[in-house]
Structure 1
Amino acid sequence: MDLEVKIRGLMMDPATNMPVVVLKDVASDSVMPIWVGIFEFNAIFNEIDKSVASRPMTHDLLRNMIQNLNAELDRVVINDLKDNTFFAALWLTQQGEQVVVDARPSDAIALALRYDCPIYVNESVMHAARLNLGGPADGPSAEQLRGWLQGLNDEDLGRYKM
């Protein structure tokens, strides 16, 4: 079963100084962090902030290609977690047929924002991520991260809160 999530906020991990997208289950208080690269973080932030570049950025290009191929992005699903790496899929419809494309979660989230389509996390992934809150190997412990995520408030998220 897939759980619908929303972006709760964008932050910098205080221990590793790496960007984090914090996803929250819409039906509960469960949150799940995903560490992303700085370029993907910027792509997500720029779409949330509605910043417009003079030329199409990579995720805008992908959106334009999907549209010009007469397809529609229906949803994205973060569907697996292996060795502290998340996996995702883009669910598209083209000419009445369902097409599923493998993607990095950060790219999938950036596209979902551009399409205003739902983001889901597989229930087993959410459960595993809650139990295994593991960022980079040299980062904080799972208990430290759990406490940090559960204690998030709007001031912590600053201008990146959703």
Structure 2
Amino acid sequence: MEIEMKIRGLMVDPSTNAPIVILKDVQGDTVLPIWVGLYEANAIALEVEKATTPRPMTHDLLKNLVQGLNATVQRVVVTELKNDTFYAVLWLEQDGESVTIDCRPSDALALALRADCPIFVDEDVLRVAKVISNPTDQATQEELRRWLENLNDEDLGRYKM
């Protein structure tokens, strides 16, 4: 089963300074942090803030390419978490047919914002994401997870990229 989620914010991991995209369950309180690269975080932040750039960025190009091929992005799905790496799929529709394309979640999220399409996370990913795989980092990861789960709307507005 897939759970619909929204991007609730972008922040920086306080221990590693890596960008994190915060996804939140539309129907509940489930929060899923996904660590992303700096460039992808920037692409997401630009679209979240509705900032314009003088020339199309890579994800703008992807959106324009999809539209130019008379296709639409129907949804994106974070499908798997394997070896601490998230996987995603773009669902496109072209000429009445569905096409799936493997992609990185960060790229899928940046494109989903531009295409104004829903974001889903497979229920199994949410279940696996709560498991801490490295016992040496358990305290740090557990603290970060609790911190992320306890963020409120005001907190999400305070942390900028």
TM-score by length of 1: 0.91
Between 145-154 and 86-95, report the one with greater CA deviation. 145-154
| CA shift in 2, pair 1:159/1:61, >3 Å | farther
CA distance 1:43–1:139, shift in 2 (3 Å): farther
Please give the secondary structure, in 2, of the residue aligned with 1:16: coil
TM-score by length of 2: 0.92
The 5 A counterparts of 1:115-130 are 115-130=115-130
Percent of pairs identical after alignment?
59
SS at match of 1:34: strand
Q: Which residue of 1 aligns with 2:142?
A: 143
CA distance in 1, matches of 2:133, 2:153: 21
Q: Secondary structure at the match of 1:51?
A: coil
Structure 2, unaligned runs of 5 or more = none
What do residues 58-115 of structure 1 show as CA deviations (whole Å, max 9, x unaligned)?
0000000000001000000000000110000000001111100001000000000001
Is 1:104 matched with 2:104?
A: yes
> CA offset at residue 151 of structure 1?
1.7
Matched-pair contact (CA < 8 Å) for 1:25–1:31: yes
**Cα distance change of structure 1 residues 116 and 133 upon mapping to structure 2, 3 Å threshold:** farther
Count of residues in Structure 1 that have an aligned counterpart in Structure 2: 159
1:64-83 to 2 correspondence within 5 Å? Answer: 64-83=64-83
> In 2, Cα distance between the equivalents of 1:64 and 1:139?
43
User: What are the ranges of 5 or more consecutive residues in structure 1 without an aligned counterpart?
Assistant: none
Deviation at 1:140, TM superposition (A): 6.0
Q: CA deviation at 1:146?
A: 1.9
RMSD across aligned C-alpha pairs, in angstroms? 2.0
Change (3 A) 1:105 1:80: same
